[in-house]
Structure 1
Amino acid sequence: MNVSQRTMTTVEELVEAGLIDRADAPALAEVAARYSVAVPPAAARLIGRPDDPIGRQFLPRPEELRDLPEENADPIGDHSHEPVRGLIHRYPDRVLIKLASVCPVYCRFCFRRASVGAGTEGVLDAAALDAALAYLAGHDEVWEVILTGGDPLAVSPRRLADVSRRLAALPHVKILRAHSRVPVLTPERVTPELIAALTDSGKTVYVAIHANHPRELTPEARAACARLSEAGVALVSQSVLLRGVNDDVETLAALMRAFVETRIKPYYLHHGDLAPGTSHFRLPLAEGQALVRGLLGRVSGLCQPAYVVDIPGGHGKSPAGPAYFHREAQGWSVEDWRGIRHDYVDSVGQSGSPQT
C-alpha cells in the first residue's frame, strides 16, 4: 500500500494508494461524483482492505447509489427547525450551529451526506453567522450551543476563536459543545491554537469525539484527546452502529473501553439514520437492542452508551435501548444482565401509595 501524505479526494488517488482495485474505479467514480470522498493519511494507514471496518467507513462503495423509498436527504428534519440559515433550534435549551459544511474525512454513512462536501459553501458565511448570533442574543432560554457541520474543528483556529469570543458576550449560554472527527482522524490539527480558540469563550466546553471502531483510537488520536482534556475540555463520545464495522458485542465493548481509557465518556450510540444510499450499513432495531443489552454486565457502567434513534421528520432523539422492567399481572419483574427475570416490588413510603 502506497499511502499518500495528503488527504486523498479522488478515486484515482485511492487506486494509486492500493486502497481500491482499478477494475472497480469506473463504478466508484460515479459514487464519488454524488458524495464527496476524503481519506486523510491517518485514516488510510488504518485500512487493511476495502471491506475492513475502517475501509467500510471511508471508501466509496457501489451500494451507495441504491436509494430506498424511505430514505431522505434530510433524514432527521434539520430544515424544519432552522429559523435562520445554519442554526437548528429543535430543543428548547440548545441550538446547533452548522459552522462548516466540509469535513477532513467523509463518512460513507453520514446523515448530512447530501449537504456536505465539494460544491458546498465550506464555512458559514459572515452574514449567516451574524444572523445566528443575533438569534441567540434574543433567546435567553438557550443554555447550550453545539457546533456541528460538516466538522466545526475543520475551520481555522482564527474563525473558531471569533465564534468563541462572540459567544462569550451571551451570558445565558453556559455550555459550548463541538462534535468532531478531527481529534481521531486528523489529530495533528489539535494544536495549542485550536484549543485556545475553543476555550476563548469562557464557557464550559465539551467535545464529542466521533469514532466507531477501537482501532481508530490510535496513540496519536489518544494524545490529541489528552491535549484537549488536559486543557479542561470535557470529552464525550458519539458512535454509529454500523453493519460490518461494530455490529458485534466484542467490538462495541472494546470501543467503549477505549473511550473510557482515553478519558472520553461514552455518550451516544446512534442507530443508523435513513440517509440516501446507506441501507447496507443499517441494522434492524431489534439487533441493535440485543447488542446494547450484551454490553450490560460485560463492561463497566462507565462504558454504557445511550442507544438512540433520531426520529425522521425532525422530532428529535428517542432512547432505543432494550427494556429490563416488565409489567406483570401482580406487579413488576426485572431482568438482570444475564437475562434472568426477578420479581420486583414497587414499594413507596407512607406519604405515597404503591404504584400498580
Structure 2
Amino acid sequence: MTLVNDAVPSTERSTGRKFRAFTAKHLDELTVRAGLPPEQRLAIRAVATVLPFRTNSYVVEELIDWSAVPDDPIYRLVFPQEDMLPADDVAHIGDLLRRQAPRQEIEAAANRVRMRLNPHPAGQLELNVPSFGDGAVPGMQHKYDETVLYFPKQGQTCHAYCTYCFRWAQFVGDPDLKLAGDDTTQLRDYLIAHPKVTSVLFTGGDAMIMGEPVLRRYVEPLLDLEQLESIRIGTKSLAYWPQKFVTDPDADAMLRLFEQVVAAGKNLAFMAHFTHPRELEPEMVHRAVRRIRDTGAVIRTQAPLIRSINDDPAVWESMWRTQTRMGMVPYYMFVERDTGPQDYFAVPLAQAHEIFSDAYRNVSGLARTVRGPSMSATPGKVCVDGVVELGGEKVFVLHFIQCRDDALVNKPFFAKYDPAAVWLDDLKPAFADRFPFEDMVLPSR
C-alpha cells in the first residue's frame, strides 16, 4: 500500500495551524467568551479543580458554536458544568478559590470529592491487573482471555478531555490512580506466555497523543507474534484533532506504521470515539478518515449515550449513517459508566434501549453492526436487549457480549424492570434469587 490518495502538499503542511492546548488556567478567559457571569465562571473553575479540563484550538474554533453556549453540545462535551458535582462541594471549593486559599488546601478538598466519584469503576485496580514474573505488570489490564489492554506511559493525556470520560482519574495527577507502562519487552513476554490473547488494545488517555516514533516502539515488537490477530488503538483524535493524520509533521510516518501493521497480517482496528454528528462535519475529518482507511486499517466507531448531548435517536441515526457513508463501522453505544459525574450524564437503561432501537430501526443493515446499549460492568459487557412481559412480569432482557466467565457469553438473563435504573448494580434478578454472574469465580491471571 502507498499513501498516494489525498496526499497533502508540503506547503499546506507547513502553513497549517499547530496544536494548541487549553487547560484549567485558560478557563476564565474562555468562559468570558461564552458571556458567563463571574459567579458562574467561578463555579466552573471549582468543578475543574476536581475533574480535569483540557481542550484545544481546533475544538474551540471549529466545533463549538459559541452563540449557543452554554447549551451547545460540543461545549458541554469539553467544558465543566457547575451542576456536575454536588452544590455544597462546588460552593466549598469556590469559596477556597475566591479567598485564594493555599494550593494544598484546595487540592485536599478536591481529592475528597474525587474519592466519592468511584475513580476506578469495575474493580480496575484490583481485578484486572495481571501478575507475571516478579509481580503485577504496570500499565496492563487483562479482563477477558482474548484481549489485553495496555496504557502506554506517554499516552496518558488526550487532545481534549470529554467531561463524561470514565478515564478521568488518569488525568488528575494522582499516581495512585494512574495506569501506565513502558516496558515493551514485558508486554511481549506476557503475550507469549498467554497464547489465548489474540488482541491488544492500546488505550489511555489516548494512544494517538503519541508521536509516530513512540507509538512504533510499542507496536513494532508485537508484529511477529503469530497469536495476535488484531491490534486496536482507542482514540478520540479523529474528532478532536484530525490534523494528526493530515497536516501534522509525522502524519505520513504514522500512516506508514499503520500500513506496516496491516502488512504483517494483523487487523489494525482504529477505535474512533465520536459522540455527536458535528464532530463528523469538518472536511479535515473526512480527509483523515480516507487516509487512515487507505492504509488498510478498519475504523470502528463508538461512544456513550450522554444526557443533554446525544440522548436523541436522531443524533445516533445521523452519526451511524454518516459513519457508514464515510466507510467506518458503527460498533458500540455504551451506557455512561458508574464513575465521575454519572448522575449528571446518565440515561436510564429503559430510555437508553428506546433511543438505541429508534435509531437502529432507521438505518440500513450496513450500520446495524452497532451493539448496545452496553454496560462495561465488573463481570463483563452487558447488553440491554429489551423490555418484555413474561409470566405477567415486566422485565429487562440482557446478555453478556463479553464476560469474565466465557460460559455466560451470549446467554440471556433477566432483571426486574426499573424505569430509574442506570447501571447493572441498580437491577434485581427476575425469576431467580441471584443473577448468574453472582456465583462467578473471578479467574486469576
Identify which of 82, 93, 96 aligns with 2:129: 82
CA contact (8 A) 1:72 1:274 kept: yes
8 Å contact 1:164–1:198 — kept in the other structure? no
Amino acid at match of 2:143: R
- Report if aligned partners of 2:139, 2:181 keep a CA contact under 8 Å in 1: no
C-alpha root-mean-square deviation of aligned residues, in Å?
2.7
Q: Partners of 1:90 and 1:234 in 2: how far apart?
A: 24
Amino acid at match of 1:77: G
Q: What 5-or-longer segments of structure 1 have no aligned partner?
A: 330-356
* 1:143 Cα deviation after fit: 0.6
Aligned to 2:258: 198
1:277 corresponds to which residue? 341
Q: Equivalent residue for 2:64?
A: 47
Distance 2:318 2:147 in 1: 32
Q: Relative contact order, CA 8 A, sep 6+: which one is greater?
A: 1
The offset of 1:310, in angstroms, is: 2.9
TM-superposed CA distance for 1:117, in Å, is 5.1
For 1:58 and 1:317, locate their aligned partners in 2 and report how far apart those are by CA, in whole Å: 26
- Equivalent position amino acid for 1:156 in 2: G
Equivalent position of 1:8 in the other structure: 22
| Distance of aligned partners of 1:123 and 1:273 in 2 relative to their CA distance in 1, 3 Å threshold | closer
2:21 aligned counterpart, secondary structure: coil
State yes or no: 1:252 paired with 2:308. Answer: no
Map of 2:171 onto structure 1 = 116
Structure 1 counterpart of 2:150: 97
* 1:85 counterpart letter in structure 2: P
2:291 to 216, 227, 234: 227
SS of the counterpart of 1:44?
Answer: helix
Distance in structure 2 (CA, Å) of the matches to 1:204 and 1:135: 20
| Contact 1:311/1:317 (<8 A) preserved | yes
Contact 1:161 1:198 in 2 (8 A): no
Residues 200-209 or 284-293, more deviating: 200-209
1:81-132 alpha-carbon deviations (Å, 9 max, x no partner): 11122111111111111122211110110111112355669994534x4332
In 1: Cα distance, 2:53 partner to 2:292 partner: 28
| Counterpart contact for 2:303–2:334, Cα < 8 Å | yes
Deviation at 1:177, TM superposition (A): 0.7
Distance 1:249 1:126, change over 3 A: closer
Q: Which residue of structure 1 aligns with residue 380 of structure 2?
A: 316
CA change 1:122–1:74 in 2 (3 A) is closer
- How big is each residue's C-alpha offset from its partner over 1:178-225, in whole Å with a ceiling of 9 and x where there is no partner? 111112210111111222233433222010110111110022112111
CA contact (8 A) 1:184 1:224 kept: no
Change (3 A) 1:32 1:114: same
One of 356, 365, 371 as aligned partner of 1:292:
356
Which of 272, 277, 292 is matched with 1:214 structurally?
277
The structure-2 alpha-carbon separation of the partners of 1:117 and 1:102, relative to structure 1 and needing over 3 Å to count, comes to farther
What count of residue pairs does the alignment treat as equivalent? 324
The corresponding residue for 1:60 is 80
TM-score (ref. length: structure 2): 0.67
Distance 1:19 1:73, change over 3 A: farther
Alpha carbons 1:206, 1:236 under 8 Å: kept: yes
Match of 1:354 in 2: none
Is contact 2:51–2:172 with CA below 8 Å preserved after alignment?
Answer: yes
**8 Å CA contact retained: 2:350, 2:387:** no
**Alignment equivalent of 2:208, drawn from 140, 153, 168:** 153
Deviations 1:127-149 (A, max 9, x none): 4x433232112111111111111
Contact 1:15 / 1:22 at 8 angstroms: preserved in 2? no
Corresponding residue number in structure 2 for 1:164 = 219
Q: Is the 8 A contact 1:47 1:54 kept in 2?
A: yes
Deviates more, 1:303-312 or 1:219-228: 303-312
Letter in 2 for 1:44: V
Residue 261 of structure 1 and its aligned partner are, at CA, apart by 1.5
Aligned to 1:333: none
Instruction: Show the counterpart of 1:307.
Output: 372
Q: 1:255 to 1:317 in 2, by over 3 A?
A: same
Unpaired runs of 5+ residues, structure 2, are 1-17, 87-112, 131-136, 246-250, 393-445
Task: Kindly indicate whether residue 52 of structure 2 is the aligned counterpart of residue 36 of structure 1.
Answer: yes
Query: What is the match of residue 342 of structure 1?
Result: none
Larger deviation, residues 5-14 vs 17-26: 17-26
More helix by share: 2
Q: Give, in whole Å, the separation in 1 of the partners of 2:115 and 2:214.
A: 39
